[in-house]
Structures are given as structure tokens and as C-alpha cells.
């Protein structure tokens, strides 16, 4: 019985490799030399993984700073005796919003990611991402195709779950680790970092 399972798994891997080669052939016809390509559906897991890489790491520090600033304002109101209702309200708003943002940082990042091209999917969640020596192409949602020159890339972030390349406000390309081998993904990360992503 174990022979049958192993051969089915081997056939499945062979089918996936064949599909990958066919997709690579189509990509080469459309875009020329292809260094990397992957296709995936945007789901909750993909959004959670990509959100962890999206946004500036300094922004969470700003949320914590808002809490500290609110505490200072509250201290000024209570201890020093500066009794302006505007100071009290502003301090409370700063503290509350900073605390909520810092405490729910993953949700804040996921919400911000939904405003990017990765989140603008509606019902069509399929994405196909192609990397050539000069650009990154994101196909989807629907018939939409976005082309980003590597020279415009602002930063690349990666972790064990994937790699996110940012090209500007709301323009990202995500490469999930679940759809690429560890070696392929590591080579892509190195290539993108060499192209100027920091």
C-alpha cells in the first residue's frame, strides 16, 4: 500500500512540475527572460503573512510614542495643574488610539495592506507574479496587470513565510514561501535586495 501512495505523490509532484514549466513557457512568451514566477490565491493566511512584512517598522514605535505623549499630557493636566479641557481630551485620545494601534498592530498592518494592490481583489483572489531582470509583473485581480520596474523598488522584507517587495504607496508584490521552494525564495530575496530593495 505504501508503494501506491508514494507513486501517487511522485505523480502529483510531476504534474505540478509540468504545470510550472508550462506556465514558465507562457510567461517567457509574454515577458521574455523570466527569473521567477508563482501563482497563488489571496486568502487569510497569505494576507496575515504579507501584513507582517508591510509598512514601516517605525510606525509601531510611533503608536507607542502616542501613548507616552498622552500620558505626559494627562500628567500635565492632573499634577501640574494645567486645567484645559482640550489638553485632557487630546491626551485621552492620544493614549487610547496609540494603545489600540500598538496592541492590535497585526490587524492595523492587515487593514493597511487591504488598501494595496494585494488587497484590492473583490471576488478574484488569483495572483500571478513574474520577476524578470528588469521588472516585477503582478497579474490580477481579473485581467489587470501591474508592471513595476526594479529601479523603483523601495524595499524588500522577508521572513520564513514569504517575501514582500514594495514599490510605493499601495504597490506591492508578495511571494509566499508556501508556493516556492526555500532555495528559490532565498535566491529571489537575494536578487531583489541586490536590485536596491533595503
Q: Kindly tell me if the per-residue pLDDT of 81 is higher than 90.
A: no
Over residues 57-80, the mean pLDDT reads 87
Residue 121 has a pLDDT of 63
Mean pLDDT of the chain: 80
Residue 15: HSE in the Cβ half-sphere, 13 Å Cα cutoff: 6
Under the banding of pLDDT at 50, 70 and 90, the label for residue 198 is low
Under the banding of pLDDT at 50, 70 and 90, the label for residue 69 is very high
Under the banding of pLDDT at 50, 70 and 90, the label for residue 15 is very low
For residue range 91-107, list pLDDT tens digits in order.
Answer: 999 999 999 988 888 88
Other C-beta atoms lying within 10 Å of the C-beta of residue 180: 19
Q: Kindly tell me if the per-residue pLDDT of 143 is higher than 80.
A: no
Residue 120 has a pLDDT of 64
* Cβ neighbours of residue 64 closer than 8 Å, sequence gap 6 or more: 98, 102
Q: Kindly tell me if the per-residue pLDDT of 68 is higher than 90.
A: yes
Q: Kindly tell me if the per-residue pLDDT of 10 is higher than 60.
A: no
Over residues 137-143, the mean pLDDT reads 79
Question: What b/e sequence results for 129-162 when a residue is b if at least 16 CB atoms lie within 10 Å of its CB, and e otherwise?
Answer: bbbbeebbbbbbbeeeebebebeebeebbbeebb
Residue 40 has a pLDDT of 87
Amino acid at each position: 500500500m505504501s508503494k501506491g501512495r508514494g507513486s501517487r505523490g511522485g505523480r502529483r509532484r510531476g504534474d505540478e512540475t509540468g504545470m510550472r514549466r508550462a506556465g514558465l513557457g507562457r510567461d517567457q512568451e509574454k515577458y521574455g527572460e523570466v527569473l521567477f514566477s508563482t501563482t497563488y490565491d489571496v486568502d487569510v493566511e497569505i494576507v496575515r503573512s504579507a501584513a507582517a512584512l508591510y509598512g514601516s517598522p517605525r510606525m509601531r514605535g510611533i503608536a507607542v510614542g502616542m501613548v507616552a505623549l498622552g500620558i505626559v499630557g494627562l500628567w500635565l493636566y492632573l499634577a501640574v495643574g494645567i486645567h484645559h479641557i482640550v489638553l485632557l481630551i487630546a491626551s485621552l485620545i492620544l493614549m487610547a488610539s496609540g494603545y489600540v494601534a500598538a496592541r492590535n498592530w497585526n490587524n492595523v498592518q492587515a487593514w493597511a495592506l487591504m488598501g494595496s494592490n494585494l488587497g484590492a481583489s473583490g471576488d478574484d483572489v488569483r495572483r500571478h507574479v513574474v520577476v524578470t531582470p528588469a521588472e516585477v509583473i503582478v497579474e490580477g485581480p481579473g485581467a489587470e496587470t501591474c508592471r513595476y520596474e526594479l529601479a523603483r523598488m523601495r524595499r524588500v522584507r522577508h521572513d520564513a513565510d514569504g517575501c514582500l517587495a514594495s514599490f510605493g504607496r499601495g504597490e506591492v508584490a508578495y511571494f509566499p514561501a508556501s508556493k516556492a521552494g526555500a532555495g528559490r525564495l532565498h535566491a529571489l530575496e537575494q536578487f531583489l535586495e541586490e536590485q536596491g530593495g533595503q
